[in-house]
Amino acid sequence: MTRPAGDVVGYIERFSESRGIRYRAKRLIVRQQRFVPVGEFWSMHDALQCFRMN
């Protein structure tokens, strides 16, 4: 995920678990130079929403 200016905000990774495909959203904490989990979701749409809300 990037801002219009090109700054990285975070990313979404797709992974499998026993119940199906999940999506994990991670946000970049610039000052700490690391990504932190925001949440795990059943749909890509829901994972994207957590970036639009902040």
12 in Cβ contact with 1 (< 8 Å): yes
Q: How far apart are CA 47 and CA 44, in angstroms?
A: 5
Domain count, the chain: 1
The length of the chain is 54
Residue 2 lies in a domain: no
Catalogue the E-assigned strands of the chain. Answer: 10-17, 20-29, 34-41
pLDDT of residue 6: 80
pLDDT of residue 5: 85
> pTM for this structure?
0.81
Range(s) of the domain holding residue 33: 10-53
8 in Cβ contact with 1 (< 8 Å): yes
1-54 pLDDT, tens digit per residue, is 778 888 888 999 999 999 999 999 999 998 999 999 999 999 999 999 988 765
Token digits of residue 21: 């495909």
Residue 1 lies in a domain: no
Residue 5 lies in a domain: no
pLDDT of residue 2: 79
Residue 40 lies in a domain: yes
pLDDT of residue 52: 79
